[in-house]
Structure 1
Amino acid sequence: MTQDVYKIGGIGTVPVGRVETGVLKPGTIVVFAPANITTEVKSVEMHHEALQEAVPGDNVGFNVKNVSVKELRRGYVAGDSKNNPPKGAADFTAQVIVLNHPGQISNGYTPVLDCHTAHIACKFAEIKEKVDRRTGKSTEDNPKSIKSGDAAIVNLVPSKPLCVESFQEFPPLGRFAVRDMRQTVAVLA
């Protein structure tokens, strides 16, 4: 997950981020989602020391070939281009738990979604069903609205493609907070 991108004199473009799954090592061909930019990792560093491989939990900088600092952004996800590469989603379905919202949330609601290091406006396109928070069983189809304390299955449409994954496969890319009026109003799982 990209947290920042730097241009370092004599070295080039260096994205900085945290390894969430798998390993990152020099020579790996990575793809950055959702921009679909493919490049080779030239080197990996942590605390100014070169690494042969970075593992989950490591916060690293890695030098990439032939990519401008302007092409990469905070919130992009880099992954192995040959092994289940990350992709941008134009829409996705998630379970939403409303924690703290003063009114009703209905189709069309467009708060800010915080997902890993990305912050993006995201529309609640369709509230498909209310579900029991404990069992996950459906309690109401196509509800008009949801409110604090409710859990629901919602189809969401980000304002720009967003890299998301199922919580079961990649928990760090499947966790979200929904913000409105500078407060967290819901979480997605």
Structure 2
Amino acid sequence: MPWYKGKILVEALDSVEPPKRPSDKPLRLPLQDVYKIGGIGTVPVGRVETGILKPGMVVTFAPTGLQTEVKSVEMHHTQLEQAVPGDNVGFNVKNVSVKDVKRGHVASDSKNDPAKGAASFQAQVIVLHHPGQINPGYSPVIDCHTAHISCKFAELEKKLDRRSGKALEDNPKFIKSGDAAIVKMEPSKPMCVESFIEYPPLGRFAVRDMKQTIAVGVIKGVDKKEAAGKVTKSAQKATGKK
């Protein structure tokens, strides 16, 4: 084809750059489960979303603020020197009871932007299907990463045009199916979330009620709160060494 001056298909495929894994970001690892294994101890399990997890690292679990040292990291019964984004791993932690950590908690590097709990967060939501109206005070369940926690629509800040994103109305009295809005949400229990721009896997959520998905949203900002969590002896020793 003399008129075509572009790349041939194979060249075009070869020139596609694979997406970069976000391993340069601080660690975020939402826990899927926690096991107590005889002779080993407490083993949280989850997928590394951002950053790197290594043995010897001191991690902070949000939202409790618990700090401890990672003894070892395993994937499919194989010891790893480090786990990168996309890896589903189990990691053994020192001096931690299985009751201290649970599904929905988030592991992070204590020395590099450690994760914290959210007092509240601002989100942009789209209401997919609700039989009535959503008013301030409505408290459905939010599914965000592995967390499953009731959150209150504390304020309806703005109603938006779904296509352009422009504000249509400030402080609407309610929102309904088909509406997009900026809202302030408050978790009923301690919860760790992040803004979508900084940590996408921890910044998107589904709103569940009446056994269905009512709305979906992305988190624009988080009002974080400090948690004076327990620091284990192993974490103190590891921090002292470095």
**Which bin holds the TM-score, normalised by the shorter protein?**
over 0.9
1:91 corresponding residue in structure 2:
120
Aligned ranges 1:39-118 → 2 under 5 Å: 39-118=68-147
Aligned residue for 2:99, secondary structure, equals helix
State the distance in 1 between where 2:33 and 2:121 align.
Answer: 25
Please give the per-residue CA displacement for 1:28-84, whole angstroms capped at 9, x wherever unaligned: 110000011000111000000000000000000000011100011100000001111
Aligned residue for 1:55, secondary structure, equals coil
Please give the per-residue CA displacement for 1:165-189, whole angstroms capped at 9, x wherever unaligned: 0101101100100001010000011
Runs of 5+ in structure 2 lacking a partner? Answer: 1-29, 219-242
2:194 corresponding residue in structure 1:
165
Please give the per-residue CA displacement for 1:85-122, whole angstroms capped at 9, x wherever unaligned: 11000111111110111111010101011011111111
Residue 120 (structure 1) aligned to one of 136, 145, 149 = 149
* Conserved? CA contact 1:18–1:59, under 8 Å: yes
Shift of residue 14 of structure 1? 0.2
Runs of 5+ in structure 1 lacking a partner? Answer: none
Which one has a bigger Cα radius of gyration? 2
State the distance in 1 between where 2:156 and 2:35 align.
Answer: 40
Shift of residue 135 of structure 1? 2.5
TM-score, normalised relative to structure 2: 0.77
State the distance in 1 between where 2:50 and 2:119 align.
Answer: 23
State the distance in 1 between where 2:109 and 2:165 align.
Answer: 33
Residue 42 (structure 2) aligned to one of 13, 18, 22 = 13
State the distance in 2 between where 1:44 and 1:123 align.
Answer: 37
Aligned residue for 2:50, secondary structure, equals coil
TM-score, normalised relative to structure 1: 0.98
Higher helix share: 2
Instruction: Calculate percent identity across the aligned residue pairs.
Output: 75
Higher strand share: 1
State the distance in 2 between where 1:133 and 1:82 align.
Answer: 40
Paired residues, number: 189
Q: CA RMSD in A?
A: 0.7
